[in-house]
Amino acid sequence: MGVVIGIDPGLSRCGIAVLGGTGARPHLVASDVIRTHADDSHSERLAVIHAGIQSMARQYRPNALAVERIFINKQGNTGIGAVQVVGFVHLIGADLSIPVVEYTPSQVKAAVTGSGDADKAAVQMMVQKTLGLPARPTPADRADAMAVAICHLGIPAFRQRDPRLNPHRDAHLRSRVSGDTRSSGGMSARLAKAMETAGPGLAAIHPSRLPQQKDQP
Protein backbone atom coordinates (compact mmCIF):
# COMPACT_ATOMS: atom_id res chain seq x y z
CA MET A 1 0.00 0.00 0.00
CA GLY A 2 1.18 3.51 -0.67
CA VAL A 3 0.30 7.00 -1.85
CA VAL A 4 1.65 8.61 -5.00
CA ILE A 5 1.02 11.98 -6.54
CA GLY A 6 0.91 11.96 -10.33
CA ILE A 7 1.58 15.21 -12.18
CA ASP A 8 0.90 16.19 -15.78
CA PRO A 9 3.09 19.30 -16.10
CA GLY A 10 1.91 22.34 -17.98
CA LEU A 11 1.97 26.13 -17.68
CA SER A 12 -1.68 26.88 -18.55
CA ARG A 13 -3.06 23.74 -16.92
CA CYS A 14 -1.18 21.39 -14.61
CA GLY A 15 -2.97 18.17 -13.74
CA ILE A 16 -2.36 16.61 -10.34
CA ALA A 17 -3.79 13.41 -8.87
CA VAL A 18 -3.34 11.60 -5.57
CA LEU A 19 -3.73 7.82 -5.75
CA GLY A 20 -3.52 5.19 -3.05
CA GLY A 21 -3.45 1.41 -2.97
CA THR A 22 -1.42 -0.91 -5.16
CA GLY A 23 -0.86 -1.47 -8.86
CA ALA A 24 -3.55 -4.14 -8.80
CA ARG A 25 -6.04 -2.07 -6.81
CA PRO A 26 -5.40 1.66 -7.11
CA HIS A 27 -7.96 4.15 -5.92
CA LEU A 28 -8.38 7.89 -6.34
CA VAL A 29 -7.84 10.02 -3.24
CA ALA A 30 -7.97 13.51 -4.77
CA SER A 31 -7.33 15.35 -8.02
CA ASP A 32 -7.15 18.88 -9.31
CA VAL A 33 -6.13 21.00 -12.27
CA ILE A 34 -4.00 24.02 -11.42
CA ARG A 35 -4.85 26.76 -13.92
CA THR A 36 -2.98 29.98 -14.70
CA HIS A 37 -3.94 32.99 -16.77
CA ALA A 38 -2.04 34.04 -19.88
CA ASP A 39 -2.42 37.69 -18.84
CA ASP A 40 -0.33 37.09 -15.72
CA SER A 41 3.43 37.32 -15.79
CA HIS A 42 5.43 34.16 -16.34
CA SER A 43 6.77 34.36 -12.81
CA GLU A 44 3.29 34.70 -11.33
CA ARG A 45 2.04 31.69 -13.28
CA LEU A 46 4.95 29.54 -12.14
CA ALA A 47 4.41 30.67 -8.55
CA VAL A 48 0.77 29.53 -8.66
CA ILE A 49 1.73 26.09 -9.95
CA HIS A 50 4.57 25.69 -7.46
CA ALA A 51 2.27 26.61 -4.57
CA GLY A 52 -0.42 24.18 -5.73
CA ILE A 53 1.90 21.19 -6.09
CA GLN A 54 3.70 21.96 -2.83
CA SER A 55 0.41 22.27 -0.93
CA MET A 56 -0.80 18.91 -2.22
CA ALA A 57 2.51 17.23 -1.40
CA ARG A 58 2.51 18.61 2.14
CA GLN A 59 -1.09 17.59 2.72
CA TYR A 60 -0.83 13.98 1.52
CA ARG A 61 2.88 13.22 2.13
CA PRO A 62 3.13 10.69 -0.71
CA ASN A 63 5.71 7.93 -1.05
CA ALA A 64 6.68 9.43 -4.40
CA LEU A 65 6.02 12.25 -6.84
CA ALA A 66 5.57 10.86 -10.36
CA VAL A 67 5.73 13.30 -13.26
CA GLU A 68 5.50 12.92 -17.01
CA ARG A 69 8.77 13.60 -18.80
CA ILE A 70 8.72 16.52 -21.23
CA PHE A 71 10.45 16.54 -24.59
CA ILE A 72 11.46 19.76 -26.37
CA ASN A 73 11.14 20.07 -30.13
CA LYS A 74 14.05 21.06 -32.36
CA GLN A 75 13.09 24.73 -32.26
CA GLY A 76 13.21 24.64 -28.48
CA ASN A 77 10.00 26.65 -28.15
CA THR A 78 7.59 23.91 -27.14
CA GLY A 79 7.14 22.80 -23.56
CA ILE A 80 9.51 25.29 -21.90
CA GLY A 81 6.95 26.15 -19.23
CA ALA A 82 6.20 22.46 -18.68
CA VAL A 83 9.91 21.72 -18.26
CA GLN A 84 10.11 24.42 -15.61
CA VAL A 85 7.19 22.78 -13.81
CA VAL A 86 9.08 19.46 -13.84
CA GLY A 87 11.96 21.30 -12.21
CA PHE A 88 9.60 22.50 -9.49
CA VAL A 89 8.52 18.93 -8.85
CA HIS A 90 12.12 17.88 -8.25
CA LEU A 91 12.69 20.89 -6.01
CA ILE A 92 9.57 20.15 -3.95
CA GLY A 93 10.60 16.51 -3.67
CA ALA A 94 14.03 17.53 -2.38
CA ASP A 95 12.56 20.01 0.10
CA LEU A 96 10.09 17.47 1.50
CA SER A 97 12.35 14.39 1.21
CA ILE A 98 10.01 12.73 -1.28
CA PRO A 99 11.50 10.67 -4.15
CA VAL A 100 10.73 11.99 -7.63
CA VAL A 101 10.35 9.76 -10.67
CA GLU A 102 9.77 10.62 -14.34
CA TYR A 103 7.96 8.53 -16.94
CA THR A 104 7.83 9.06 -20.70
CA PRO A 105 4.42 9.54 -22.32
CA SER A 106 4.80 6.14 -24.03
CA GLN A 107 5.46 4.42 -20.72
CA VAL A 108 2.38 5.99 -19.16
CA LYS A 109 0.16 4.99 -22.09
CA ALA A 110 1.56 1.45 -22.10
CA ALA A 111 1.03 1.04 -18.37
CA VAL A 112 -2.58 2.21 -18.53
CA THR A 113 -3.80 0.85 -21.88
CA GLY A 114 -1.22 -1.76 -22.91
CA SER A 115 -0.19 0.35 -25.92
CA GLY A 116 2.41 3.10 -25.99
CA ASP A 117 0.60 4.69 -28.94
CA ALA A 118 -2.84 5.00 -27.34
CA ASP A 119 -4.77 8.24 -27.87
CA LYS A 120 -6.15 10.45 -25.11
CA ALA A 121 -9.65 8.98 -25.38
CA ALA A 122 -8.30 5.48 -24.76
CA VAL A 123 -6.25 6.70 -21.80
CA GLN A 124 -9.29 8.42 -20.26
CA MET A 125 -11.44 5.32 -20.74
CA MET A 126 -8.88 3.01 -19.11
CA VAL A 127 -8.25 5.44 -16.25
CA GLN A 128 -11.98 5.47 -15.57
CA LYS A 129 -12.11 1.68 -15.64
CA THR A 130 -8.97 1.17 -13.54
CA LEU A 131 -10.07 3.57 -10.81
CA GLY A 132 -13.75 2.65 -10.94
CA LEU A 133 -14.86 6.21 -11.65
CA PRO A 134 -18.48 6.98 -12.54
CA ALA A 135 -17.41 8.96 -15.63
CA ARG A 136 -14.33 9.63 -17.70
CA PRO A 137 -12.09 12.12 -15.91
CA THR A 138 -11.89 15.54 -17.52
CA PRO A 139 -10.16 17.62 -18.60
CA ALA A 140 -7.37 15.60 -20.21
CA ASP A 141 -4.79 17.11 -17.83
CA ARG A 142 -6.57 15.55 -14.85
CA ALA A 143 -6.84 12.17 -16.58
CA ASP A 144 -3.17 12.27 -17.59
CA ALA A 145 -2.10 12.98 -14.00
CA MET A 146 -4.12 9.95 -12.85
CA ALA A 147 -2.50 7.89 -15.60
CA VAL A 148 1.01 8.88 -14.46
CA ALA A 149 0.17 7.80 -10.90
CA ILE A 150 -1.31 4.51 -12.14
CA CYS A 151 1.86 3.91 -14.13
CA HIS A 152 4.00 4.39 -11.04
CA LEU A 153 1.91 2.13 -8.83
CA GLY A 154 2.12 -0.58 -11.49
CA ILE A 155 5.92 -0.67 -11.57
CA PRO A 156 7.21 -2.59 -8.52
CA ALA A 157 10.81 -2.10 -9.67
CA PHE A 158 10.71 1.40 -8.18
CA ARG A 159 10.71 -0.22 -4.75
CA GLN A 160 14.06 -1.91 -5.37
CA ARG A 161 17.31 -0.56 -4.00
CA ASP A 162 18.16 1.41 -7.14
CA PRO A 163 14.94 2.63 -8.80
CA ARG A 164 16.93 4.36 -11.55
CA LEU A 165 17.50 1.02 -13.23
CA ASN A 166 15.36 0.20 -16.24
CA PRO A 167 12.45 -1.63 -14.55
CA HIS A 168 11.28 -3.35 -17.70
CA ARG A 169 14.66 -4.85 -18.52
CA ASP A 170 15.20 -6.07 -14.95
CA ALA A 171 11.70 -7.53 -14.70
CA HIS A 172 12.21 -9.34 -17.99
CA LEU A 173 15.50 -10.83 -16.80
CA ARG A 174 14.00 -11.97 -13.52
CA SER A 175 11.15 -13.74 -15.28
CA ARG A 176 13.61 -15.56 -17.55
CA VAL A 177 15.74 -16.69 -14.64
CA SER A 178 12.78 -17.87 -12.60
CA GLY A 179 11.09 -19.48 -15.59
CA ASP A 180 7.92 -17.53 -14.90
CA THR A 181 6.40 -16.73 -18.27
CA ARG A 182 3.11 -15.52 -16.83
CA SER A 183 4.29 -12.14 -15.63
CA SER A 184 7.28 -9.84 -15.36
CA GLY A 185 7.85 -7.85 -12.20
CA GLY A 186 4.24 -8.25 -11.16
CA MET A 187 2.89 -7.17 -14.57
CA SER A 188 1.09 -9.34 -17.09
CA ALA A 189 3.17 -10.59 -20.00
CA ARG A 190 1.23 -8.35 -22.38
CA LEU A 191 1.78 -5.25 -20.27
CA ALA A 192 5.45 -6.07 -19.69
CA LYS A 193 5.93 -6.38 -23.44
CA ALA A 194 4.18 -3.07 -24.05
CA MET A 195 6.31 -1.34 -21.42
CA GLU A 196 9.47 -2.81 -22.92
CA THR A 197 8.43 -1.54 -26.35
CA ALA A 198 7.76 1.92 -24.92
CA GLY A 199 11.45 2.14 -24.08
CA PRO A 200 13.45 3.53 -21.16
CA GLY A 201 12.51 6.69 -19.36
CA LEU A 202 12.38 5.95 -15.67
CA ALA A 203 14.55 8.31 -13.68
CA ALA A 204 14.45 8.80 -9.95
CA ILE A 205 16.17 10.92 -7.36
CA HIS A 206 16.18 10.09 -3.68
CA PRO A 207 16.59 13.32 -1.72
CA SER A 208 18.59 11.44 0.91
CA ARG A 209 21.22 10.72 -1.74
CA LEU A 210 21.63 14.33 -2.81
CA PRO A 211 25.08 15.75 -2.10
CA GLN A 212 25.22 17.67 1.12
CA GLN A 213 25.82 21.38 0.74
CA LYS A 214 28.77 22.78 2.60
CA ASP A 215 28.13 25.51 5.09
CA GLN A 216 29.00 28.92 3.79
CA PRO A 217 31.73 30.69 5.72
Catalytic residues, by residue number, are: 8, 68, 141
Burial (Cβ within 10 Å: 0-12, 13-18, ≥19) of residue 59: exposed
DSSP assignment of 58-98 equals HHH--SEEEEE-----TTS-SSHHHHHHHHHHHHHHHHHT-
Question: How does strand 183-184 pair with strand 100-103?
Answer: unpaired
Residue 167 CA to its chain's centroid (Å)? 14
Residue 91 CA to its chain's centroid (Å)? 15
Question: How does strand 64-68 pair with strand 2-8?
Answer: parallel
